[in-house]
Amino acid sequence: MSNPHEAFREEAYELLTSLESSLLELEESPDDLEIVGAVFRAMHTIKGSGAMFGFDDISSFTHDIETVYDLVRNGELAVTGALVSLSLAARDQIKAMLDATCGGDSCDATRTEELRGAFRALLPVKEDASAAAPGPGKVANPAAALQRTYRIRFRPNREIALSGTNPLCLLNELRELGKCQVVAQMDDVPPLADLDPEQTYAYWDVILTTGEDIDAIKDVFIFVEDDCHIQIDLIDDEELLGTDSSYKKLGDILIERGDLTPDALQEVLRQQKRVGEMLVEAKVVSPSKVASALAEQQQVKEIRSQQQQKQQGGDAASIRVPADRLDRLVDLVGEMVTIQSRLSQTALGREDAELISIAEEVERLTAELRDNTLNIRMLPIGTTFSKFKRLVRDLSQELGKEIELTTAGADTELDKTVIEKLNDPLVHIIRNSIDHGIEAPEKREAAGKKRQGTIRLAAIHSGDSVIIEIVDDGAGLNEEAIRRKAVEKGLVGEQELLSRHEVFQLIFAAGFSTAEKVTGVSGRGVGMDVVKRAIEALRGSIDIDSVAGQGTTIRVRIPLTLAIIDSLLVAIGEDCYVIPLSIVEECIELTRADVAASHGRNLVRVRDRLVPYVHLRDEFAIAGPPPEIEQVVITAVNGNQVGFVVDHVIGEHQTVIKSLGRMYRDVQGLSGATILGDGKVALILDIPQLIQRAEQLA
Partner 1 sequence: MLECTLLPPSESQPATLRVEGNADITFILQFKTALVEALQAHPNLYVDCADMTEADFSCVQLLWSTHQSYPGMRVTPAGREALTPVILAAGLDRVQGFCLSGDPGDCLWAAPDPPLGKKSDTNCPV
User: What is the closest distance, in whole angstroms, from the C-beta atom of residue 328 to partner 1 in the complex?
Assistant: 34
Of 197-205, 320-328, 368-376, 470-478, which part binds partner 1 (CB under 8 A)? 197-205
Reference 62, options 33, 32, 93, 37; nearest CA is 93
Instruction: Report the distance separating Cα 385 and Cα 405, nearest Å.
Output: 10
Write down the least CB distance from residue 293 to partner 1, Å.
Answer: 11
DSSP assignment, residue 439? P
Element at 202 (helix H, strand E): none
Residue from 75, 81, 103, 191 binding partner 1 (CB under 8 A): 191
Distance of closest approach, residue 246 Cβ to partner 1, in angstroms: 22
Angle at 246 between CA 240 and CA 247, to 5 degrees: 60
Is the separation of the CB atoms in 591 and 607 below 8 Å?
no
DSSP 312-379: PPPPP------HHHHHHHHHHHHHHHHHHHHHHHHHHHHT-HHHHHHHHHHHHHHHHHHHHHHHHTEE
The reply on whether position 181 binds partner 1 by CB under 8 A is: yes
Contact flag: residue 198 with partner 1 (CB under 8 A): yes
Quote the least distance from Cβ 261 to partner 1, whole Å. 22
Q: Choose which of 39, 84, 182, 426 interacts with partner 1 (CB under 8 A).
A: 182
Q: Which amino acid is at 80?
A: T
| Binding segment toward partner 1, per CB under 8 A, in 27-35, 178-186, 352-360, 555-563 | 178-186
Which pairing describes strands 648-656 and 640-646: parallel, antiparallel, or unpaired? unpaired
**203 binds partner 1, rule: CB under 8 A:** no
Closest approach of Cβ 221 to partner 1, in Å? 16
Among 476, 402, 470, 393, CA closest to 440: 402
In the list 82, 168, 510, 518, the residue contacting partner 1 (rule: CB under 8 A) is: 168
When binding is defined by CB under 8 A, the residue of 85, 172, 478, 519 that contacts partner 1 is: 172
Work out whether 204 is an interface residue with partner 1 (CB under 8 A). Answer: yes
Size of the site for partner 1 (CB under 8 A): 31
Give min distance, CB of 244 to partner 1, in A.
26
Pick the stretch among 196-204, 523-531, 580-588, 617-625 that binds partner 1 (CB under 8 A).
Answer: 196-204
What letters, b where the CB count within 10 A reaches 16 and e where it falls short, cover 484-502? ebbeeeebbeeeeebeeee
Interaction of residue 183 with partner 1, rule CB under 8 A: yes
Pick the closer one to partner 1 by CB: 144 or 192.
192
Cα gap 285→277, rounded to integer Å: 10
**Options 183-191, 209-217, 248-256, 583-591: segment touching partner 1 (CB under 8 A):** 183-191
Q: Does 232 bind partner 1 (CB under 8 A)?
A: no
Nearer to partner 1, 290 or 506 (CB): 290
For the segment 291-350, give every residue that binds partner 1 (CB under 8 A): 291, 295
**Adjacent-strand bridge partners of 614:** 644
Which window, 70-78, 92-100, 188-196, 522-530, contacts partner 1 (CB under 8 A)? 188-196
Instruction: Report, in Å, the least distance between residue 66 CB and partner 1.
Output: 21
From candidates 124, 190, 349, 463, binder to partner 1 by CB under 8 A: 190
Contacts of 122 (CB under 8 A, 6+ apart): 68, 71, 77, 83, 86
CA distance 676 to 329: 20
- Does the footprint of partner 1 cover residue 201 (CB under 8 A)? yes
Sign, CA torsion 273/278/279/280: positive
1 in helix, strand or coil?
A: coil
Query: Does 288 contact partner 1 by CB under 8 A?
Result: yes
Nearer to partner 1, 143 or 193 (CB): 193
Closer to partner 1 by CB, 162 or 348: give it: 162
Does residue 81 belong to the site contacting partner 1 (CB under 8 A)? no
Q: Measuring CA to CA, which residue among 469, 666, 698 is closest to residue 602?
A: 698
One-letter amino acid for residue 220 of the chain: V
The region of 16-24, 176-184, 566-574, 626-634 touching partner 1 under the rule CB under 8 A is 176-184
CA distance 375 to 421: 18
- Picking from 311, 323, 321, the residue whose alpha carbon sits closest to that of residue 243 is 311
Question: Is the CA virtual torsion 363, 368, 370, 373 positive or negative?
Answer: negative
With respect to partner 1, which residue has the nearer C-beta, 104 or 287? 287
d(CA 634, CA 329): 35
Residue 438 main-chain phi, psi, to 5 deg: -70, 135
Compute the least distance from the CB of residue 51 to partner 1, in Å.
13
Q: Which of 102, 192, 317, 319 is in the footprint of partner 1 by CB under 8 A?
A: 192
Q: Near partner 1 by CB under 8 A, which window of 13-21, 86-94, 175-183, 576-584?
A: 175-183
| Closer of 166 and 478 to partner 1 (Cβ) | 166
123 is a contact residue toward partner 1 (CB under 8 A): no
Among 78, 109, 186, 518, binds partner 1 (CB under 8 A): 186
Q: By CB under 8 A, what part of segment 477-536 binds partner 1?
A: none
195 binds partner 1 (CB under 8 A): yes
- CA 141 vs CA 177, 213, 523: distances in Å: 12, 14, 51
Which is closer to partner 1, CB of 166 or CB of 423?
Answer: 166
- Give the residues across from 591 on adjacent strands: 629
Binding flag, residue 276, partner 1 (CB under 8 A): no
Give the nearest distance from C-beta 153 to partner 1 in angstroms.
12
Nearest in space to 476 (alpha carbons), one of 542, 553, 555, 399 = 553
Residue 193 binding partner 1, by CB under 8 A: yes
d(CA 640, CA 612): 10
Which is nearer to partner 1, 17 or 172 (by Cβ)? 172
- Span of 164-172, 232-240, 417-425, 648-656 interacting with partner 1 by CB under 8 A: 164-172
Name residue 214's amino acid.
I
* Residue numbers at the binding site for partner 1 (CB under 8 A): 161-162, 166-168, 171-172, 181-184, 186, 189-193, 195, 197-198, 200-202, 204-206, 286-288, 291, 295
